[in-house]
Chain A
């Protein structure tokens, strides 16, 4: 059974810092991995999707990497801004299942 963990659970940084969020999964037989952000009281917004054959994806100040063999993905946020404050979730879809398994999230606060 796939299990997804995220470290740290919460992170507070001053504006302008570069930061890394971590996602680990126990079963490396994945189809893809997706990073989301969730603002308080809102639904999830898709940030980046990495297929199992890819090593990384970039969108603006965000860069997500995937190392299937070690069961890890990282989300790199460059030059953080207060508007980046949210909970960041990673979700993994396995080769044998059609639904995603979500991690518990990292709650990010970027202080002005």
Chain B
């Protein structure tokens, strides 16, 4: 079946502009995660959605970052007034199919490479 997809695959923007990154999780997965990976760094957790529960936003680095998940499926990560330090690969993962429990494997998308000039 289809895996996690993300769009765009690459995004180049100018400092100060807003950007939206999209994640389409695996159908039926109840959990959705956003991470970012800066050059040469490990994965940094950003935000986690689980079903209809309030999202865990504890990893968002500033109030310029926000995310939505509409209808329990597609998610959009929005970065307002982008800064050069926002340049990174933004990875989305989904998991927790019904019947498997909500705390199981994560399956990752290919990521969106964001470059802020």
Interface size on A, residues (CB 8 A): 22
Query: Across the interface, do A98 and B108 meet the contact criterion of CB distance under 8 Å?
Result: no
Main secondary structure of the interface of A (DSSP, over half): strand
Q: Count CB-based A-B contacts (< 8 Å).
A: 54
Which residues of A have CB within 8 Å of B91? 43-44
Identify which of residues 69-112 in chain A touch chain B, using a CB-to-CB cut-off of 8 Å: 89, 91, 93, 97-105
CB distance from B50 to the nearest CB of A (A): 6
Number of residues of chain B lying within 8 A (CB) of chain A: 24
* Interface contact A43-B42, CB-CB below 8 Å: no
6 extra A-B contacts, CB within 8 A, seeds A42-B111, A44-B43, A100-B33 = A43-B91, A91-B43, A97-B56, A98-B102, A98-B103, A102-B35
15 A/B residue pairs, CB under 8 Å, sorted by A: A34-B106, A42-B111, A44-B91, A44-B108, A46-B106, A46-B107, A46-B108, A89-B42, A98-B48, A98-B56, A102-B42, A102-B43, A102-B45, A104-B41, A105-B42
